[in-house]
Structure 1
Amino acid sequence: MNSIIDRYIDSHQHRFCELADQIWDLAELKFAEHQSCKAHAVALEQAGFRVQRNLGGLPTALLGEYGSGEPVIALLGEYDALPGLSQTAGLPQADPLDPQGAGHGCGHHLLGCASLLAAIALKKAMTEGGLGGTLRYYGCPAEEGGSGKTYLVRAGAFDGVDAALTWHPDSFNGVSTFTNLANLQAFFRFQGRASHAAISPHLGRSALDAVELMNVGSNYLREHMPADTRLHYAITNSGGHSPSIVQHQAEVLYLLRGGEMNSVLDLFERVKNVAAGAALMTETRMSVQFDRATSSVLGNSTLEQVLQECLEEVGGARVDADDESQARLFRETFSEEEIASVYSDLGLTRDDRVLHQGVVPLAKQRQPIFASSDIGDVSRVIPTAQLYMACYAIGTAFHSWQMVAQGKSAFAHKGMLQTAKVLARAGLALMMDTARVTAAREEFSRLTANTPYRCPIPADISPPV
């Protein structure tokens, strides 16, 4: 039945490349991906899926379902862009279409379309092969800073799923065995008292002073944090533009990361104490507003092996002279450090290639990376695995204008289509060999026996939709 999958994807490639380009053009931000979500929903309905919109109370989340019974296999897609990354497609120099516009700097236009195409192709194989089981496609919003999947997990949207598969565009081909960081983000707001800075400074209480003291205190805290934790901040409201007025309000946004959510929550309490101390020193009032949080990824070796086998069968995207030529233009915009770091992260020896064509061997040990993703919360409630596929020149940094600019390239399309074949084949392998599904669930149960899932988003926090 793999041949059914391949034929379907090959015969529908132009339609889905056009859909990916359409979503690239839309460049919709977290929780506002209305047109992108609608395009996915329409494609699912036309393919005969039962579609549930407004999944988990999120207007831009959806579930497409086909079949019935066990196993229940899920493919996950995304479609949100990033702010401030507008860029002209194909141009190897920074040239925003809109200086204030958004752009697909993480390839989610490709991510969603490959998973969507895989789901429809797998449904075709299930229908023609008379195969039982339930296939689900999840359209997941707001991965970029919105914790969309975390809200869906909290709402029970993944209940009943036996295994979930997903992917991410990259500059190499392989299966992810990385562990990443849990994170939590919150606003700290300080309220003081305005006054004339020269005539009556003694009557003022500076909220900006409180923010600065909090940042100083947090910097001292860094020496006494666990080695795998990270602390970042941005002053989002400095209190005004005139130095002759004592700033009566100010705000700082903190992002905390750590290997496990419990470490992040412990660090959050310490940062709140620092903020309370800053408020006490400045005689201001402090409040905290939760923004987002995601758990770290829990890998599943059983599912990763299935993905690896299918990836080795299909291979990466085929490279032609035009692909190479365009990639070299972008390669000239990368620093040597950027190029070297991607090889180092994968434990590979650097070579002169600009586009990856092989398959990275499945890692025997899990390596940490210091990014975060809401896929972590899905992996904490059901067995989950993800692959990565080369769609960009080697050395392309995530969240960069170079990634946006390459998002409509022929090579990006090829990588997306190859991914669809891998995901559909992996889903089919699980449908046909339920022993591997059972093994994945048993592995998951062992790994979570002593660490039950705790949703990092408080129960009283609603998604900002």
Structure 2
Amino acid sequence: MNLTEKIAKLIDEKSNNYKDISDKIWEFAETRFDEFQSADLLCEVLQQEEFQVERGVANLETGFIGTYGTGKPVIAILGEYDALAGLSQVAGEATYQPIIANGNGHGCGHNLLGVGALAGAIAVKDYLVQHKLSGTVKYYGCPAEESGYGKSFMAREGLFKDVDIAFSWHPGTVNTVMHAMSNAVIHAHFKFKGRSSHAAASPHLGRSALDAVELMNVGVNYLREHIIDGARIHYAVTNTGGVAPNVVQAEAEVTYLIRAPKPDQVKSLYERVVKCAKGAAMMTETTVDEQIVGSCHNLIPNKTLETIMDQHMNELGYPEVTDEDIRFAKDIFQTLSEEEKGAIALQVGNDFARKLAEKPIADFVIPLAKEPISIGGSTDVADVSWNVPTAQCTTSTWAVGTPFHTWQVVAQGKSNYAHQAMLLAGKTIASTAITAIENPEVIEQAKNELKERLNGEHYVALIPEELMPPKLSVMKKDETYV
């Protein structure tokens, strides 16, 4: 029995338990920093598996670390468990049917992500015990990936300094190991204050904060022509100052996500956006307060670890799917727009796209990319990747073409094929981790690669020192996402 077979056996023996845990977290559907039930359940399972659990790490109320073993190497496995607002949906239904109007739902599959990582961490523990190996495995319970940047707070507090290598994964529509780069991001709020007045009788006495927001947005729109390739700026008006048109709005607020390929670039771009805000305030004779509420670095790939992970994923292969799986996946596939269906070929190629139209569950492994692929978005896994060599994979938990952050993702969150793909991710992570433990030269090579990719740069958190994770008693629950 080879390594992947041994790991698969360890995970399969506890698979029903993992499926149940994932389904419970799907039902909890707790959003950023509010994942108390989900964190409690994961901590309980870790304690049952004889992990030592430390809660409230990095001042995160729902963050924790479960540790098993002693000595080197130290392996980190990252789990997430936060849901999204407004995506409530009945499981197993291919039509939009919210359980609760505007309720929460796991529209990014983090119920699967956290438990797949958990399965991987427990399998590493079980293997260490069975084979009497030294080493430490740590499960990092990472809250608030969706706009909260939990891992960035952990990295700022130095929680990865004793770690040798790290692993994670993400639900998706294909099976592949990520050889990817992401954008660094700064998330900031801009609050404008002016002076209220009657818009008809005394408009000259008012100073419109809403005008300031609009002028800032116009200024940033002009700025877009003059930023580097790959940079992105997005915004949402979170407070219009009221609904009465005959009142000059005395306050208004807009939130921005500012992305660029490198940390120094995103900091520079943020400063230019701040100038647009200050200019808008000057034009309207209002005041503006800006506040960074979160940020993360760009993702650093690690081909050394990814190559091993790719080998194990191919050895494991995608599990067989049932006729019922195919039927439901086809129903989900038919809910996609023609544009969404057409985008599949860009991801997997025309031949695979035609095949997937008939059976829209990707049961093959896409080869590891030769050069890093830019994913455009941002992830707080990036802050980990600046500190330790990090590798990630994705598996086919959803019907091909399913867009992230949608009710279709939530509908598939309890499906058999989602469960099987979740377990595949755990097996892939655990197999890669054990290979590194048994071959110390792999870890040394991965560390050397990280050093080369950083090329003299060092991690400095983008999150301001004074910014602390919000506590529920004072948290403003806005719903803006990474």
TM-score normalised to the size of structure 1? 0.98
Contact 1:72/1:161, CA 8 A, preserved across alignment? yes
Q: Give the counterpart of 1:123 among 107, 122, 125.
A: 125
Contact 2:112/2:171, CA 8 A, preserved across alignment? yes
**Equivalent residue of 2:410, what SS?**
helix
Aligned to 1:190: 192
Matched, 1:391 2:393: no
Contact 1:126/1:132, CA 8 A, preserved across alignment? yes
Q: Which AA in structure 1 matches 2:294?
A: R
Matches within 5 A, 1:348-427: 349=351, 350-353=353-356, 354-427=360-433
Unmatched segments (≥5 aa) in structure 1? none
Structure 2 CA distance for partners of 1:348 and 1:182, relative to 1, 3 Å: farther
Alpha-carbon separation, structure 1, partners of 2:231 and 2:275: 17
**Equivalent residue of 2:181, what SS?**
coil
Matches within 5 A, 1:70-109: 70-109=72-111
**Equivalent residue of 1:380, what SS?**
helix
Matches within 5 A, 1:223-234: 223-234=225-236
1:346 Cα offset (Å):
4.9
1:238 Cα offset (Å):
0.6
1:227 Cα offset (Å):
1.6
Q: Deviations over 1:68-121 (max 9, x none)?
A: 111111111110001111111111111111112111011000000011011111
Aligned to 2:68: 66
Alpha-carbon separation, structure 1, partners of 2:339 and 2:302: 32
Q: Which AA in structure 2 matches 1:129?
A: H
Contact 1:317/1:390, CA 8 A, preserved across alignment? no
Q: Which AA in structure 2 matches 1:126?
A: L
**Equivalent residue of 1:213, what SS?**
helix
Matches within 5 A, 1:39-438: 39-346=41-348, 349=351, 350-353=353-356, 354-438=360-444
Q: Which runs of 4+ in 1 moved over 6 A?
A: none
Q: Deviations over 1:3-40 (max 9, x none)?
A: 44322211211111011000000000111111101111
1:45 Cα offset (Å):
0.6
Matches within 5 A, 1:31-46: 31-46=33-48
1:358 Cα offset (Å):
0.9
Q: Which AA in structure 2 matches 1:377?
A: D
**Equivalent residue of 1:351, what SS?**
helix
Alpha-carbon separation, structure 1, partners of 2:344 and 2:382: 22
Aligned to 2:467: 461
Alpha-carbon separation, structure 2, partners of 1:347 and 1:376: 28
Q: Which AA in structure 1 matches 2:71?
A: G
Alpha-carbon separation, structure 1, partners of 2:460 and 2:156: 9
Q: Report sequence identity in percent.
A: 43
Q: Deviations over 1:257-311 (max 9, x none)?
A: 1111211111111111111111001100111021111111000010101110110
Q: Deviations over 1:185-210 (max 9, x none)?
A: 11111110111111111111111111
Contact 1:4/1:124, CA 8 A, preserved across alignment? no
Alpha-carbon separation, structure 1, partners of 2:246 and 2:15: 62
Alpha-carbon separation, structure 2, partners of 1:206 and 1:389: 50
Unmatched segments (≥5 aa) in structure 2? 472-482
Alpha-carbon separation, structure 2, partners of 1:101 and 1:296: 31
Contact 1:147/1:292, CA 8 A, preserved across alignment? yes
**Equivalent residue of 1:352, what SS?**
helix
Q: Deviations over 1:119-177 (max 9, x none)?
A: 11111111010011111111111100001000000011111101001100111101001
**Equivalent residue of 2:387, what SS?**
coil
**Greater Cα shift, 194-203 or 347-356:** 347-356
Contact 2:87/2:103, CA 8 A, preserved across alignment? yes
Contact 2:4/2:312, CA 8 A, preserved across alignment? no
